[in-house]
Amino acid sequence: MEVLQNNLDRNPALRTRFNQEKLQLRQAIQQRQLARVTADTIYVPVVFHIVLRNPNIVTDQQLRDQVDTLNKDYAGLNGDSVKILPAFKPLFGKSIIQFRLAQRTPSNEPSNGIVRKVTTHQQFNYNDPSVKFTSMGGDNAWDRNRFFNVWVTDIADGYLGYSTFPQGSSPSEDGVVIHYSSLPGGSPPYDRGRTLTHETGHYFFLYHIWGDENGCGGSDEIDDTPNQGGSTSGCPSGTQTDNCSPAAPGIMYQNFMDYTNDACMVMFTHKQVERMEASLDQYRSSYRSTNGHIPVGLVNLDAGLTAINAPVQRACAASFNPVVVLRNQGIQTLTAVEIRARIDDGTSVLTQWTGSLQTFNETQVNLGALTTTPGTHTLTIYVTKPNGGTDLDLSNDTLTTTFLYQPPVSPPLTEGFEGNTFPPTGWDIINPDQARTWQRASGIGKSGQASVEMRNFSYQASGTKDLLRLPVMNIANADSAFMTFQVAAAVASNPNASLNPMDTLEVLVSTDCGVTYTSLYRRWGNNLITRNTPVTTPFLPLANEWRKDSVNLTPYIGQGEILLAFQNTTENENNIYLDDINVYSVVINPTLKERGFLVSPNPVQGDGRVYVQFYPNPVNLRSIAIYSITGARVVEKPVNGDGSSLYTFDLSLLSSGVYVVRVVFSDKTITQKIIKR
């Protein structure tokens, strides 16, 4: 419950959705009560992620025993159900939900459903999702629509386990975490695998039997469990009562959703089973069709494609080479495959691949060049004739993708999102989860009547990255280049909290058309926000809540086509806005570049202004003054200590004639005559 509360506090939109789902689940339970009589068994594939400094301390047999415990407990076949008090035996529920160790990976390779990951973490805190992410020392979840993810680790502070609820977390964190000592054969009195039985109940939307409130006002939303004032510990026997159920039969302390010892929790009720099965149908219905528990069946010849690595939604040149991942899904080693690619309904281009690819191995293949025209197109790539024979599984032979091509542009590029077309011409959006992403914000802007926004406040995911990509650019024949933009941002929680994940805004650059990126700008929390106090409603910036930021693009001058992108990483905080995006280059006067010092204009024009420029910024500059031809000092400028490269003098009050500009460094002096007309 604490994990759920933390997730909902981080994401107000998730809280709203979760509360709505609770109401819908009640309706679903009522609708399915009659249909369940003839329902078939539902097999849920389980993958155990063993994340420990020494993951081998957990044996395969312990995990097989754990699955066996789950199956007996959920089917009501557990031998210790004979302990159920007579008054509660008519309520003994038996579920059609059963569990199997996964027999294949998400990419359909054979698996035993067990992943062992060595970590440097001694323990993981229950409110720290790191155990669920490879990048944080844990192990990434398998596709939650096909597999039930269970992480086995060392949980800090004496906790035995915790679970997410349906619709109560981001997809990447969905699943159960248990302490390794709670597995069968672990540490008494929690050594029979009932921790996972209990947490899996939460995973299918069961609450604790006492309703998670001390007192009689709490509810587990189950009609056939007695009202109970609090959790039960230890291993009671006989009839037990409390102030919420003061008379026999008393409280149901033997229920799997209480806190008794493993040896004393032995049952679900009929209504708990109904709720879990309705929850599965409502939120995890893909378990009815998943093949995760079915062993991989192989044919002799099977070449397949698993990904198109280029173009990634964008072609940066009219002629480009697609890149695909070829995979051997068959028994026979692949030595030759024909790979064909075409744009729209055009003529296909053949690439003949040869090599040696063993079963379940894959390789990246660069295909022959294709030529396109400006606009959005469909790319189709397919494989044929593996080893010169017939492919025996055509389901994995073809991949398609859409891509955009616009000829590269040169600076300057400006965009204020005032037009009705979004994304603007030549721009695109990468939205991996097909959920919230960058959108035009009408009526909100630093200048004009629009901007672009990322609605993190109502995002229902966490850690998802969305890119807003600019047109492909070619910066050449310049001395420096920059991108400036206006940003407005806020957070919903304390921006000073050290362990609180924050929305992050980055500016990325790619020199390989979006295959890889380099981060040029990265801000979050106090470094990003333009309103310092938390905002618990969707953030709408005021006129003074914008900041102009800049990114130096000078290192990419002459590097060919580059692709710039704004990347938002959401952590459910609050909205981010961008406006007045400006990419420009600067060309230095060639005389200034050659001499390093330039006085202009010469002769001085009617307004009397004269500019003294340096290139690069001057070092050890001591003074700048203008003297008459007779040697009298007529104008002097104080030297800035910041290495400024431009100084302006006003000669409008001086009479016409010849003057001398005198620049003094610590090691040299430079003079130049100028004419004032």
Distinct helix (H) and strand (E) counts, the chain: 6, 35
Residues 6+ apart with CB under 8 A from 526: 495, 496, 532
Q: Which residues pair with 376 in a beta bridge?
A: 404
Please say whether the dihedral angle defined by the alpha carbons of residues 379, 372, 581 and 590, taken in this order, is positive or negative.
positive
Answer yes or no: are the C-beta atoms of 148 and 101 closer than 8 Å: no
Cα–Cα distance, 400 to 411 (Å, whole number): 33
User: Rounded to whole angstroms, what are the CA distances from 155 to 4, 173, 260?
Assistant: 17, 16, 19
Residues 6+ apart with CB under 8 A from 648: 609, 610, 611, 612
Cα–Cα distance, 339 to 544 (Å, whole number): 56
Cα–Cα distance, 212 to 233 (Å, whole number): 15
Q: How many C-beta neighbours within 10 Å does residue 333 have?
A: 13
Residue type, 503: D
Answer yes or no: are the C-beta atoms of 492 and 295 closer than 8 Å: no
Q: Does residue 199 carry a catalytic annotation? A: yes
Residues 6+ apart with CB under 8 A from 293: 43, 44, 45, 100, 101, 102, 103
Query: At CA 25, angle to CA 22 and CA 30, rounded to 5?
Result: 140
Residue type, 384: T
Q: Characterize the bridge pairing of strands 176-179 and 148-153.
A: parallel
Residue 583 has φ and ψ, to the nearest 5°, of -110, 125
Residue 403 has φ and ψ, to the nearest 5°, of -145, 155
Cα–Cα distance, 393 to 303 (Å, whole number): 8
Cα–Cα distance, 38 to 32 (Å, whole number): 11
Residue 52 has φ and ψ, to the nearest 5°, of -145, 165
**Comparing C-alpha atoms, which of 211, 218, 206 is closest to residue 268?**
206
Torsion of CA 449, 507, 172, 8, to 10 degrees: -50
> What do you get for the CA distance between the two ends of the chain, in Å?
83
- The DSSP call for residue 589 is -
Residues 6+ apart with CB under 8 A from 164: 3, 4, 7, 173, 174, 175, 176, 202, 203
Residue type, 353: W
Residues 6+ apart with CB under 8 A from 144: 171, 174, 175
Which is the catalytic residue, given 21, 199, 545, 573?
199
Tokens at residue 341, please? Answer: 């690619």
Largest Cα span, the chain: 119
Radius of gyration of the chain (CA): 34
Any idea which residues carry the catalytic annotation?
199
